[in-house]
Amino acid sequence: MSLVRRQLLSLAGICLTSVVTAAWVLATGPANAQTDFPSRRIHIVLPYPAGGVVDVATRIVTDKLSEMWHQPIVIEAKPAEQGNLAWDEVSRAKPDGYTWTFLGPATMTNPRLYANLRWSEKSFVPVGATVWTSNALVVHPSLPVNTLAEFVDHVRKRPGVLSMATVAGSSTALSTAIFLNATNLDMVAVPYDGPAVLDLMANRVQFAILPLGLVVPHIDSGALKALAVVATARSPLLPNVPTMSEAGYPDANVVAWYRYGVPRGTPRPVMDKIVAGFNEVMKHPSVREALQKQALQPAEPMNADELAELYAADTEKYVKIIREANIKITPE
């Protein structure tokens, strides 16, 4: 064999090897990336303010998850535009598992209440469930009422006089709308991007349904008065306060849960790793105890399919509530 021919064959072998190697890299690169997840920082965009119950509960869970994965998890609060700003950003993020958001009732209701949104609940896939929530119907202590029935009677005698705080699209707003729809109460609605605890204590608004963990200290101090709780059962923190069902308004007893999602299109292996991470973290006694101190009920593990089924069922439930209670956003 001539020297030129041997050189040509050698060159051909090198080229063939390069092609095979390149093909192998292309075929296995994404798989390896999914297998190695997470290999860098994770970014969570929350639609509610820093310091609120959602923020606190998220940090309790993700601090442990970050410790377990040996990767930082950065939380950014973007409460503007009733949460729409946060959800719009995450819906357009790269679907690689490194950008998450909080999924709540407003994720499902806002697309029905606001025009021209670039996202909907279908823009996200749930990957973790952490807690079931409890809320309290609270009033300023200056109101001469001690029961829900007395409150209803008091407001009916003063149509359009009292003000109420509401966060559009949230479970508390849905409970409020159903309650007002059932009682035909006429109150002035004051919109907030987050809980209006300070304004309620200052008597700038007189009524609100707020997360139990936020208001219990103020109820205990006498700065607020609780008339009912939105929960599956009475809270051990307020054992003498009836549930909305016990007080005669079972349809307003809308109990929400905290879940987290990623942009649709995120690879299933990555989503499964996130789901497994949440489920593992929720087994830790320290995490469950910390969440319970926030008046939150820790959720039990769910796989990706179970999360998707519950997400779809919640969407149907909240859409029905919007329709039946005739909830609308009044343009400013």
Token couple for 58: 């998220």
Name the stretches of the chain with pLDDT < 70: 1-35, 168-170, 194-195, 328-332
Distance CA 175, CA 233 (A): 16
42: three-class secondary structure by DSSP: strand
- The conformation of residue 330, written as its DSSP 8-state character, comes to P
All CATH 3.40.190.150 domain ranges in the chain, comma separated: 42-132+256-325
pLDDT at 179: 86
Closest CA to 162 of 181, 196, 185: 185
CATH 3.40.190.10 maps onto the chain at: 135-252
| CATH assignment, 135-252 | 3.40.190.10
* Fold designation for 42-132+256-325: D-Maltodextrin-Binding Protein; domain 2 (3.40.190)
Closest CA to 168 of 230, 90, 114, 125: 114
For 164-210, how does the pLDDT look when each residue is reduced to its tens digit (9 = 90+)?
A: 998 765 677 778 888 888 888 999 989 887 668 999 999 999 999 98
Strands (E), 197-290: 207-211, 225-230, 257-263
Question: What's the pLDDT score for residue 294?
Answer: 87
Give residue 8's pLDDT: 41
pTM higher than the cut 0.85: no
Token pair 């051909």: residue = 12
At a CB cut-off of 8 Å and minimum separation 6, what does 194 contact? Answer: 48, 49, 52, 79, 167
- DSSP E strand boundaries for 199-306: 207-211, 225-230, 257-263, 297-298
C-beta of residue 290 within 8 angstroms of C-beta of residue 121? no
pLDDT at 232: 83
Q: Which residue has the tokens 């909830």?
A: 327
Cα-trace Rg, the chain? 25
